[in-house]
């Protein structure tokens, strides 16, 4: 089973799209309605976690962990605090750039790669950085297969990007639930 969290208008063949109204990431009761614990193979969340506080992000990551099968993963993308572009940073800032109906109006946090990675590591995931900017604003990219979860606001798929210039990037991770639990 493959599930898109906070899908908006996003629909992919073979994927189940969910909206916040039907699946509040913080509500175990909402998770229990359509899913079984350890019943999901893949989760996809594009620009969802910035609408949660840091602590809510950890709680949501823990819920994802519980509902993913061992070896399953979540591919997750958020705006990148380290992307050196004034227009972009104004657009993604906490509280958004303008009217209350702007998509960023409910942003509660803007992550850098270290803080975002920690959200999922605290929940028990093994995290791989796929796209991100470091502290110097340098962009890093590791190839990822779109069939495993397509992120539209990414280096390859956002039309605002070219070989010469980056116009829109996301901080993108794969957070995988280990096949076996390690005990200390």
Structure tokens at 133: 């900017």
Its pTM stands at 0.94
Q: Which residues pair with 52 in a beta bridge?
A: none
Distance CA 165, CA 155 (A): 10
Domain spans in the chain, listed from the N-terminal domain onward: 2-176
Q: What is the pLDDT along the chain (184 residues), one digit of tens a residue?
A: 999 999 999 999 999 999 999 999 999 999 999 999 999 999 999 999 999 999 999 999 999 999 999 999 999 999 999 999 999 999 999 998 878 888 899 999 999 999 999 999 999 999 999 999 999 999 999 999 999 999 999 999 999 998 889 999 999 999 999 997 655 4
Specify the DSSP class assigned to residue 110. Answer: -
User: For domain 2-176, is the CATH number 1.10.10?
Assistant: no
Report the Cα 150 to chain-centroid distance in Å.
11
């Amino acid at each position: 089973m493959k599930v898109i969290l906070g899908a908006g208008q996003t629909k992919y063949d073979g994927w189940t799209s969910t909206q916040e109204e039907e699946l509040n990431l913080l509500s175990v009761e909402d998770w229990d309605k359509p899913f079984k614990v350890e019943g999901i193979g893949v989760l996809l969340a594009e620009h969802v976690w910035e609408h949660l506080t840091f602590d809510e992000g950890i709680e949501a990551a823990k819920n994802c962990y519980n509902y993913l099968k061992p070896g399953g993963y979540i591919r997750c993308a958020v705006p990148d605090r380290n992307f050196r572009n004034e227009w972009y940073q104004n657009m993604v800032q906490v509280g958004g750039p303008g009217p209350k109906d702007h998509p960023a109006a409910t942003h509660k946090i803007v992550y850098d790669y270290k803080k975002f990675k920690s959200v999922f590591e605290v929940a028990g995931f093994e995290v791989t950085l796929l796209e991100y900017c470091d502290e110097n604003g340098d962009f890093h990219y590791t190839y990822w297969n779109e069939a495993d979860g397509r992120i539209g606001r990414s280096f390859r798929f956002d039309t605002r990007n070219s070989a010469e210039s980056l116009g829109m990037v996301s901080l993108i991770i794969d957070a995988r639930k280990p096949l076996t639990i390690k005990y200390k």
